Amino acid sequence: MLNRIATISEDLAKSRKENPELKRLMDIAAEGQSPRYFLISPVNRSSQDLHLLQFQQGDAFGGTRVPGMALPSPRESPILFAGPAAYTSNFDERKAVIITFDQEESDDTIEKSLDSINKHPALAGVPIIALRIDYLSGYATIFPHGYERASEEEKSVLGRIRHPNYLDDRLLTVLCSDSRVRPPESPLGVSMSIQTLGAFVPQYHSSITECIQLDSFFSSWLSGGNIEQQILVVIHGNLEGTGPSCGAGCASMNLDAIEDSHLHFAISALCERVETFERVIAKSPEERVVNVGRATVENLSTYPAIQNHQELLPGDHQFIEMMKMDTVTNVVREINWRC
């Protein structure tokens, strides 16, 4: 499957380069990022949300929540939510936090999620747009609330809605929150995706809410025992010679310069875990992100649901793989990461 995913990414990059507007966005991406939205999506809808909202490269920085469960508070979700949310304070124009819910999710789940967003100091004063979505029909409605809102922005977001691309729920990608990178596609459709700083997922701890929720998602997803299911960790950076590095990778090289407490915690957790894989301290963000990817692969294997699934697989079956994506072109390639 990895060869097919790489080929599809090359074909998509070629078509974007032939489109003047998309080529312009790639040129902007080469200089940096300044996304207008912080998009918090359910793991199983992350890629579809980008298509449903017609977000292009550079439009939205990504956060993650587990479907069917309320977004935990910043304290309870330091890696999947609090870290990426804190990172958005670096951007000049923040029009809204957009959080999406499947139409079957309860009002209580939505309300608790909104309360968690409101508790993050880096998001103070940023309007919150909560969307309840029917992904089969491509129809969305605004969920009303008493927090910061912007009616014109809500109308603008609703005006973007279109029918999302087909979801291939066999493929789960783990990707950086960076607005310039988009989850790779499979031959069957867009992937599910966990988006977090540097594509880093923490080790499982039974006392941490985000880990408990994530393991619950893994358990549900893997319950059918489908051997075609795959987790693909996608690190990103300068793949083609001139592109920008991963921002989280850069931040990890200068940890003392991070002032925000939530961001410092998230990057510190990444650094502490990566030390296990670095005999010599990485000399560049490009070296660092490879080890972040290795750490994430190993961390994923600490989740009970994944351990149980791997025990049922043939000994030579690689359930978790890793590839590298170019920040600008979004071309993905296999790398020799197991050495």
Rounded to 10°, the helix 209-221/304-312 angle is 30
pLDDT recorded at residue 339: 61
pLDDT at 313 over 90: no
State the chain's mean pLDDT as an integer: 93
Determine how many CB atoms are found less than 10 A away from the CB of residue 206.
Answer: 8
Most confident of 144-148, 225-229, 308-312: 144-148
**pLDDT tens sequence across 249-306:** 999 998 989 999 999 999 999 999 998 888 888 888 888 999 999 999 999 999 999 9
pLDDT recorded at residue 280: 81
Assign residue 160 a region: left if phi > 0, alpha if psi is -120 to 50, beta otherwise? alpha
Q: How far apart are the first and last CA of the chain?
A: 21
Block residue for tokens 């670096």: 90
pLDDT recorded at residue 281: 85
Q: Which two tokens stand for residue 157?
A: 């977001």
Cα separation, 6 vs 97, in Å, equals: 32
E-only strand ranges, 177-292: 185-186, 189-196, 230-237
pLDDT recorded at residue 284: 86
Cα separation, 256 vs 226, in Å, equals: 44
Name the residue among 98, 123, 116 with its Cα closest to residue 41.
Answer: 98
Per the CB < 8 A criterion, the answer to whether 286 and 249 are in contact is: yes
Q: Which two tokens stand for residue 101?
A: 């819910």
Mean pLDDT of 211-230: 93
Helix (H) or strand (E) holding 324: strand 320-326
Rg (CA), the chain: 19
Record: fold of 2-244+292-326: Beta-carbonic Anhydrase; Chain A (3.40.1050)
pTM of the model: 0.94
Name the residue among 93, 98, 133 with its Cα closest to residue 114.
Answer: 98
What is the separation of C-alpha 117 from the centre of its chain, rounded to a whole number of angstroms?
A: 17
**pLDDT tens sequence across 122-139:** 999 999 999 999 999 999
pLDDT band, residue 241 (cuts 50/70/90): low
**pLDDT tens sequence across 153-167:** 999 999 999 999 999
**What are the C-alpha distances in Å from 103 to residues 129, 149, 303?**
15, 21, 28
Q: Give the bridge partners for 235, in sequence order.
A: 324
**pLDDT tens sequence across 53-80:** 999 999 999 999 999 999 999 999 999 9
